[in-house]
Amino acid sequence: MNKKTSTVFVCNNCGQDFSKWLGRCTNCGAWDTIVEMRGVKATPSSKAAAAGPAQIVPFSSCTVNETNRIASPYPEIDRVLGGGLIPGAFILLGGDPGIGKSTLLLQLASAWAKTGSKVLYISGEESAEQIYARGSRLGVADSPVLMLTETSVETILNKLDEAAPDIVVIDSIQTMFSDAMESAPGSVSQVRESASLLLRFAKQHKAAVILIGHVTKDGSIAGPRVLEHMVDTVLYFEGDGHYQYRIVRAVKNRYGPSGEIAVMSMTDRGLAEISNPSEFFLLNRANPQVGTAVVPVLEGSRVLVVEVQSLVNKSHFGLPQRVASGINPKKLSLLLAVLERFGGFSLGEYDIFFNIAGGLTVAEPAVDLGVAASIISSFSNRPLRRDLGFIGELGLGGEIRPVNNMPLRIKELAHMGFTQCLAPRPPKKADWTMNNKGIEIIQCGRIGEVKEYIF
Ligand code: TYD
Ligand code: MG
């Protein structure tokens, strides 16, 4: 074998390679994170050999066979994957500890196993008894999933050759270690080596391999760059321990659109899909409250109708407080400045608190108009019209601008029973201004005119 032993240095924080030791990583700026990584470094020729002899083929023959996709009883998860699981896909599921990654994958594994795939669940974190206990709680104890508790990648690869599964779950990549590396499990060099060995298995045997990855304090997966570049699909499992709902988000997907989400809810019997998430996030429709506005936000191809809430109070101290959760605090300051200058609201002596109900975070500019309306409502101490939704971005000149996917957003508002929507005035004739059955579009070009329509 054409292999050579080499010593490289690698940053344990970001995974960057160096030829010599440094006190501070020049890539991510972290101090004292660069460690020596001794081991077998694959030369380009051995890498190529592992992938098998290359063939020149016509471009048109390089199709993914969509009929091979493995479906699950979770249509939302299948949609996030791009229409089901592709054989040979190498997937990373990242998320905070305790968010429900093992639960989700045990449910999926047993569902795939029940439909005839050979599924192997490999755990380096829990004993088989612990996993069985979880399985019985999830009601999947009778499923034909195969189990292995092991952390050595070499042993795992031997077992994989023997068992030849269609789908492999690795819980978690941070517990795996390869003998070729001297560093401890969980370090970037181990994570990288273990993942690349498993990647080779996935591609050679056309088995789908799903890695669970823990997220570090700063919100990235340990060894993030290496893993995210290596895998075909990166899924993030998001959520807040204080709320029941969880979101699976495709951050990267070579087999489908990225940005797609599935909303799930953690119950005492595992995770359940929420097929109509807007209903889940809209709780107070019957009694409109002062300071609450309703906005359709886009997540991937899904529209969620959410409530945004403001509380505007006279300030009793010198410097008024501005607290925002769910949107960027700088965005709140910007919207307040526009409201003050072009809306005619003097907000300088008021404390302003802002929140998106349910703990969601929204980065889209499409929420601007709804945020402004909720502030106007709280400031005026009057509830907004009950059946009115808000769509639009606020410009620094006080103008209300159209946003992308207006028809989709309007449709979801109508679906949720709203009868009116305050929306921008489009520069040209736009389709979404006409033929909206059941919902009246109120066009408004400037923030100064908004108060005429909202109460
Ligand atoms: P787990 O899947 O172990 O998280 P991870 O693998 O991401 O670390 O989920 C752990 C949490 O989920 C734990 O706090 C208990 C909760 N849980 C439920 O609420 N219902 C259930 O049916 C299960 C199995 C777990
Ligand atoms: Mg776990």
- Per-residue pLDDT of 5-48, as tens digits, reads 566 787 777 777 888 889 998 888 888 878 777 655 544 444 44
- Per-residue pLDDT of 205-255, as tens digits, reads 999 999 998 876 565 555 556 788 889 999 999 887 778 889 899 989 998
Smallest Cα–Cα separation from 388: which of 399, 400, 374, 401?
374
More confident residue, 120 or 436: 120
For residue 89, the model assigns a pLDDT of: 93
More confident residue, 229 or 175: 175
For residue 3, the model assigns a pLDDT of: 47
For residue 165, the model assigns a pLDDT of: 94
The rounded Å distance from CA 375 to ligand 1 centre is: 38
Q: Name the residue of 266, 267, 269 whose CB sits within 8 Å of the most ligand 1 atoms, as the mutation to test its pocket.
A: 266
Q: Considering only CA atoms, which residue is closest to atom 13 of ligand 1?
A: 98
The rounded Å distance from CA 98 to ligand 2 centre is: 7
For ligand 1, what atom is nearest to the CA of residue 138?
22
**pLDDT over 80 (residue 453):** yes
Q: Considering only CA atoms, which residue is closest to atom 19 of ligand 1?
A: 268
For residue 47, the model assigns a pLDDT of: 46
Q: Considering only CA atoms, which residue is closest to atom 11 of ligand 1?
A: 98
More confident residue, 221 or 126: 126
**pLDDT over 80 (residue 448):** yes
For residue 46, the model assigns a pLDDT of: 41
Residues with CB under 6 A from ligand 1: 95, 97-103, 134, 137-138, 266, 268-270
**pLDDT over 80 (residue 171):** yes
**pLDDT over 90 (residue 123):** yes
- Per-residue pLDDT of 364-423, as tens digits, reads 999 999 999 999 999 999 999 888 999 999 999 999 998 988 888 988 888 888 888 999
Mean pLDDT value of segment 289-293: 90
- Per-residue pLDDT of 255-282, as tens digits, reads 888 888 899 999 889 999 988 888 777 7
Token look-up 């019997």 returns 269
For residue 168, the model assigns a pLDDT of: 96
For residue 49, the model assigns a pLDDT of: 44
Token look-up 């990549």 returns 173
Plot region of 349 (φ>0 → left; ψ -120 to 50 → alpha; else → beta): alpha
Find out whether 370 and 347 touch, Cβ atoms under 8 Å.
Answer: no
Smallest Cα–Cα separation from 171: which of 144, 189, 198, 193?
198
Average model confidence (pLDDT) for the chain? 85
The rounded Å distance from CA 125 to ligand 2 centre is: 7
**pLDDT over 50 (residue 1):** no
Q: What is the chain's alpha carbon radius of gyration, rounded to the nearest angstrom?
A: 26
More confident residue, 239 or 138: 138
**Taking ligand 2, which is a single-atom ion, which protein residues have CB atoms under 5 Å away?**
102
Q: Is 53 exposed, middle or buried (0-12, 13-18, 19+ CB in 10 A)?
A: exposed
Find out whether 265 and 245 touch, Cβ atoms under 8 Å.
Answer: yes
Percent of the chain with pLDDT over 70: 91
For residue 57, the model assigns a pLDDT of: 84
For residue 183, the model assigns a pLDDT of: 75
* Lowest mean pLDDT segment, chosen from 133-142, 266-275, 319-328, 433-442: 433-442
190 — pLDDT class (breaks 50, 70, 90): confident
What is the layout of strands, in order, in the sheet containing 270-273?
Answer: 146-149, 119-123, 167-171, 208-214, 90-95, 233-239, 245-253, 261-267, 270-273
More confident residue, 221 or 432: 432
Q: Considering only CA atoms, which residue is closest to atom 18 of ligand 1?
A: 268
Give the whole-angstrom CA distance, residue 395 versus residue 392.
Answer: 10
Give the whole-angstrom CA distance, residue 141 versus residue 139.
Answer: 6
The ligand that comes nearest to the alpha carbon of residue 248 is 1
The ligand that comes nearest to the alpha carbon of residue 132 is 1
Q: Name the residue of 92, 101, 103 whose CB sits within 8 Å of the most ligand 1 atoms, as the mutation to test its pocket.
A: 103
